[in-house]
Amino acid sequence: MTATEILARMPYGKDFLFVDEILKFDENGITGTYLFKRDLVFYESHFENNPVTPGVILTETMAQIGLVCFGIYLLKDQEANTKPAFAMTSNSIEFLKPVYPGDKVWVTSEKTYFRFNKLSCKVTMKNSIGEILCKGTIAGMLIRHGNG
């Protein structure tokens, strides 16, 4: 499976996709990036005249790269040619530095547990100079549609 194939199977529309590229991945982890474009709609109202990326969006970005993209890769043989759905079951994120409009982030996820389609990962978000912006653990499960 390639990075392009992983991204093609993401279950999000363009307005809620917080992954630009997948840089590397294997059975133990994944790394990807996202650029928080200045024109994202939530910047208009989240701290007017001093926009900052909401923590819920940072968590979503970490989950999309570190849980969903990684889960798609791990389930590549089971879920071929489908867009699997994942549900976040838990997260514990520590926010250390703000992320502003125009910032590019690197998200790295390391597998801590994967069994019975439940995935738990240690996830870190860094900026362009390698500073840790937020870190924590995220867990989720694959949700099968239909008979699954």
Give the residue numbers marked as catalytic: 46
Residue 141, Cβ density class (10 Å: 0-12 exposed, 13-18 middle, ≥19 buried): middle
Kindly state the tokens that stand for 125.
């978000």
